């Protein structure tokens, strides 16, 4: 028997579908279609849920069944760290992703005495005569056995996300501070704080209190940063890397914005005035030393010019070579002759270098050398003139020596008698007593008009006794 047009495929042969069954079958068929679409949409949404975004200043990682994806797979550890942008992972519970901020972080570290809320707010420190108590006050002991208080800021960043997530994560609340209760619940702050305290204590024990508080404060802060990085490296070498790195140049800072009398690095309040006096004296000492150095440099520049350091080193080297040559010459052994010859050659070359520098020197040295050169040239010129005159009269002397000397003597007498600066005295022959008349110091004899039978000069008389 053939089926009717309304007969369904599920209708047993020979039986017709009634309207109620037909409606139910249609409804079930539509429900299954809708269910298939919903299941497909859910599957698509499930796979789309694996997409996640990593922001700027962050790094992301994917954990698959609790293990970081990429670590241990042929050594490709860097593939495990995801940079900024969109990434996809298998949806939960197969994979789980997380992001870690790698920008700069700060940790406040204090070695301060107990402060009231009013003192912290105003920065004005009240007077307190009581001694420091370790269970209440915190302080540093310096290398010269003094006490300092310090309030420092540690600046760091996450250098290795894998090590950080493995050994430190979860990260602390950015709003958490040393004095807040949530601080003690995070390993990052606890570990870093303990390591930083040890580094500060070690650095303070190697420097004097006035240096830490004064002109060597930056050196002290750099020492703390280096010591802290060294401790982090020690943990990494022992198999527990934290992935944290302290900035080398400004990783440890002393806040400059302290108000009132509250300073970032300061002595105890009981000895504040004494420290200030010593610090003022030290500052004056540094100023005087710098002034003396400046005056010394100016004096050296005026003495030998800008190249005074090079001139001094060259002269010092020449002096050392000269001493070595003298020491070798004092020995009578034949084995040192070759070395002595080499030293003399070096000395000759060094002297040439010294003379070259001195010739081109400026300042007083240059003026003295130029004056000496002028005098040398004048002496040489005078000597050459004397030689020429001597050679010109030599033939005459060789012909008649006695007449030549007599003529020269008469010329000398004539020049002396005609010179007004020469005092002439007449001694009568056969006199039994002589009186010597000497003018006083700085006093010239007074002139008188010449007359017959009178001497050329009259001088104050000084009795010198008989001769």
Give CA separation, 270 vs 204, 275, 278, in Å: 20, 10, 15
Structure tokens at 367: 């003026």
Give CA separation, 461 vs 157, 352, 443, in Å: 103, 61, 13
Distance between CA atoms of 438 and 459, rounded to whole angstroms?
7
The pLDDT of residue 460 is 40
The pLDDT of residue 11 is 53
Distance between CA atoms of 416 and 367, rounded to whole angstroms?
38
Q: What DSSP string describes 93-112?
A: TTEEEEEEE-S-EEEEEEE-
Residue showing tokens 């241990």: 72
Structure tokens at 279: 């610090």
Q: In 123-216, where does DSSP find H-type helix? A: 161-167, 187-204, 209-213
The pLDDT of residue 289 is 92
- Quick count: other Cβ atoms within 10 Å of Cβ 181? 7
Count of CA atoms in the C-beta half-sphere (13 A) of 103: 7
Q: What are the average pLDDT values for consecutive 10-residue runs of the chain, which has 467 residues?
A: 47 61 79 84 81 87 81 57 85 84 87 72 62 80 89 89 85 55 68 92 91 86 92 91 86 70 78 80 86 88 84 89 85 68 88 86 85 91 92 89 88 86 76 69 54 43 36
- Across 443-462, b (16+ Cβ under 10 Å) vs e yields eeeeeeeeeeeeeebebeee
Q: In 14-69, where does DSSP find H-type helix? A: 19-48
The pLDDT of residue 466 is 35
Nearest residue to 59 via CA among 172, 164, 191, 190: 164
Crossing angle (nearest 10°) for helices 363-399 and 401-418: 130
Sign of CA dihedral 370, 372, 378, 381: negative
The rounded Cα 415 to chain-centroid distance in angstroms is 75
Q: List Cβ neighbours of 428 (8 Å cut-off, separation of 6 or more).
A: none
- Give the domains, in start order, of the chain with CATH numbers: 24-101 (no CATH), 105-281 (3.30.479.30), 423-467 (no CATH)
The pLDDT of residue 300 is 83
Q: Which uninterrupted H or E stretch holds 69?
A: none
DSSP category for residue 79: G
Q: Confirm if 242 and 195 have CB atoms less than 8 A apart.
A: no
Structure tokens at 305: 């010019």
The pLDDT of residue 127 is 61
Structure tokens at 444: 């010239």
Show the beta-strand stretches assigned E in 343-454.
446-447
Q: Confirm if 69 and 61 have CB atoms less than 8 A apart.
A: yes
Give CA separation, 190 vs 108, 176, 182, in Å: 12, 12, 11
Q: Confirm if 146 and 270 have CB atoms less than 8 A apart.
A: no
The pLDDT of residue 462 is 37
Helix (H, G, I), strand (E, B) or coil at 70: coil
Residue 140 phi/psi, 5-degree rounding, is -115, 145
Indicate the burial class of 88 (C-beta count within 10 angstroms; 0-12, 13-18, 19 or more).
middle
Show the beta-strand stretches assigned E in 234-356.
244-246, 252-253, 265-266
Nearest residue to 216 via CA among 206, 201, 227, 230: 206
Residue 457 phi/psi, 5-degree rounding, is -135, 150
The pLDDT of residue 450 is 47
Nearest residue to 192 via CA among 219, 148, 156: 156
Indicate the burial class of 212 (C-beta count within 10 angstroms; 0-12, 13-18, 19 or more).
buried
Q: Which uninterrupted H or E stretch holds 67?
A: strand 67-68
Confidence (pTM): 0.55
Helix (H, G, I), strand (E, B) or coil at 92: coil
Distance between CA atoms of 184 and 46, rounded to whole angstroms?
38
Q: List Cβ neighbours of 164 (8 Å cut-off, separation of 6 or more).
A: 100, 158, 171, 242, 243, 244
Helix (H, G, I), strand (E, B) or coil at 82: strand
């Amino acid at each position: 028997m053939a089926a009717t047009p309304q007969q369904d495929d599920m209708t047993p042969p020979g039986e017709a579908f009634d309207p109620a069954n037909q409606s139910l079958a249609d409804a079930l068929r539509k429900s299954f279609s809708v269910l298939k679409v919903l299941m497909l949409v859910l599957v698509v949404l499930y796979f789309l849920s694996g997409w996640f975004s990593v922001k700027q200043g962050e790094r992301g990682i994917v954990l698959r069944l609790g293990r970081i994806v990429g670590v241990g797979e042929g050594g490709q550890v860097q593939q495990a760290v995801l940079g900024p942008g969109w990434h996809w992972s298998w949806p939960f519970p197969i994979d789980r992703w997380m992001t870690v901020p790698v920008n700069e972080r700060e940790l406040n570290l204090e070695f301060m005495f107990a402060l009231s809320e009013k003192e912290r707010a105003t920065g004005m420190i009240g007077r307190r005569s009581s001694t420091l108590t370790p269970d209440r006050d915190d302080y540093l002991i310096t290398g010269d056995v003094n006490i300092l208080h310090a309030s420092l800021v540690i600046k760091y960043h996450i250098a290795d996300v894998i090590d950080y997530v493995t050994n430190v994560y979860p990260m602390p609340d950015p709003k958490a501070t040393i004095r807040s209760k949530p601080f003690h619940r995070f390993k990052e702050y606890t570990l870093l704080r303990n390591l930083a305290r040890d580094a500060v204590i070690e650095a303070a024990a190697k420097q004097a209190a006035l240096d830490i508080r004064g002109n060597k404060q930056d050196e002290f802060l750099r020492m703390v940063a280096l010591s802290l990085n060294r401790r982090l490296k020690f943990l990494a070498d022992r198999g527990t890397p934290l992935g944290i790195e302290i900035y080398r140049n400004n990783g440890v800072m002393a806040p400059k914005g302290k108000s009132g009398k509250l300073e970032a690095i300061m002595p105890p309040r009981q000895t504040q005035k004494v420290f200030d006096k010593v610090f003022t004296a030290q500052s004056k000492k540094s100023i005087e030393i710098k002034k003396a150095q400046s005056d010394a440099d100016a004096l050296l520049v005026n003495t030998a010019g800008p190249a005074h350091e090079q001139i001094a080193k060259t002269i010092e080297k020449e002096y050392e070579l000269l001493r070595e040559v003298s020491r070798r010459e004092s020995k009578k052994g034949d084995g040192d002759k070759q070395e002595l010859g080499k030293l003399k050659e070096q000395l000759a070359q060094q002297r040439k270098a010294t003379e070259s520098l001195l010739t081109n020197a400026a300042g007083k040295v240059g003026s003295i050398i130029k004056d000496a050169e002028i005098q040398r040239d004048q002496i040489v010129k005078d000597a050459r003139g004397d030689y020429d005159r001597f050679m010109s009269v030599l033939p005459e002397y060789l012909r008649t020596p006695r007449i030549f000397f007599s003529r020269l003597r008469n010329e000398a007498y004539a020049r002396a008698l005609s010179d007004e600066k020469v005092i002439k005295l007449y001694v009568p022959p056969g006199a039994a007593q002589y009186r010597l008349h000497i003018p006083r110091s700085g006093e010239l004899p007074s002139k008188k008009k010449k007359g017959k039978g009178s001497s050329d000069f009259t001088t104050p008389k000084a009795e010198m006794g008989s001769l």
